Structure 1
Amino acid sequence: MVQVNRRQIRKARIEIVPMIDTIFFLLVFFMIATLSMTKQQGLPVNLPRAATAEREIRENVTLTITREGRLYYNKQEIALERLGSALKGDLGENPRLLVIINADTDVTHGKVVEVMDQVKAAGASRMAIATKLKGER
């Protein structure tokens, strides 16, 4: 009887651990590369002036009335008496300007109506009052 040397046949396996290491390395590399790109965009630069530059036309304006009764025009505090002239300037550029009123729940109804009167007197034809869905924080 002839005895044949049998080699043990090993099944081929795909080693997944080195593949996972490579994927994590690439993930970290791209995260760091992305962070460094966003930092470069935030550098302070004095831009040159151009005669042909176009001004950005606003689509909407946000008026915020705080609990204390302070009025803010696009996050800048403004007196109620100056609201009309500020709105007229933006309405001159865009007559279809949407005025969004954010009023705190503790603000009196009268204060909101005063602001709405100023908006209408300035000539705004589109106005909205911001609300939240019940249960939303």
Structure 2
Amino acid sequence: MAGPATKSVVPEEGKKKARIEIIPLIDVIFFLLATFVLFTLSLNKIQSVPVNLPVASTASSSKSDDDTVTLQISDQGTCYWNKELINLSEIRPRLAHYKTQVAVPRVLIAGDDKAKFGITVQALDEVRKADIQQVSVETRVRPTGR
């Protein structure tokens, strides 16, 4: 009675179904993503402005700090040369005279809290025209005339 119609269907025990494992695939994708991000960041050119940073000096240079000229710009467009009120047109002759009097001329440009940017740039341009190399721009705000 055991004929072809009564044949039982039993899968073979040695063969397994093929499966795609997701966990290792996710690991590979994250590795490729991290590699791509790091490679892309290394391709960016960082553009910067060259800056001459000051170097530390001895305590005997405190006398030379008195030679620094403070040029302050106020919100009304007036200028102060070491706390002395001057016109914007007086900056160029004073810088020329100052450069002849001091071996290493230094200028500190400062402004009060509402100083105009254009006048400050004009003062900086006058310092550049006088060929003074050591120029500092103060980043903290001072009261006018101090």
TM (norm. structure 2) is 0.48
Distance (whole Å) between structure 1 residues aligned to residue 131 and residue 140 of structure 2: 27
Query: Quick check: 1:93 aligned with 2:101?
Result: yes
Tell me the amino acid that sits aligned with residue 94 of structure 1: V
Q: Quick one: distance in 2 between partners of 1:81 and 1:71?
A: 10
Q: Which runs of 5+ in 1 are unaligned?
A: 1-55
Look up the SS of the partner of 2:71 in the other structure.
strand
Question: Aligned equivalents of 2:79 and 2:140: distance in 1?
Answer: 20
Shift of 1:95: 4.0
Alignment equivalent of 1:105, drawn from 93, 103, 113:
113
Aligned length: 78
Q: 1:121 aligns with which of 114, 129, 140?
A: 129
* Partner residue in 2 for 1:45: none
Q: 1:95 to 1:124 in 2, by over 3 A?
A: farther
Are residue 59 (structure 1) and residue 67 (structure 2) matched? Answer: yes
SS in 2 for 1:86: helix
Work out the CA distance in 2 between the residues paired with 1:95 and 1:65.
25
* 1:22 aligned residue: none
**Amino-acid identity (%):** 26
Q: Which has the larger radius of gyration?
A: 2
Paired residues for 1:1-137 under 5 Å: 59-132=67-140
- For structure 2, the residue ranges without an aligned partner over 5 or more in a row are 1-62, 142-146
How far residue 79 of structure 1 moved from its aligned partner, in angstroms, is 1.3
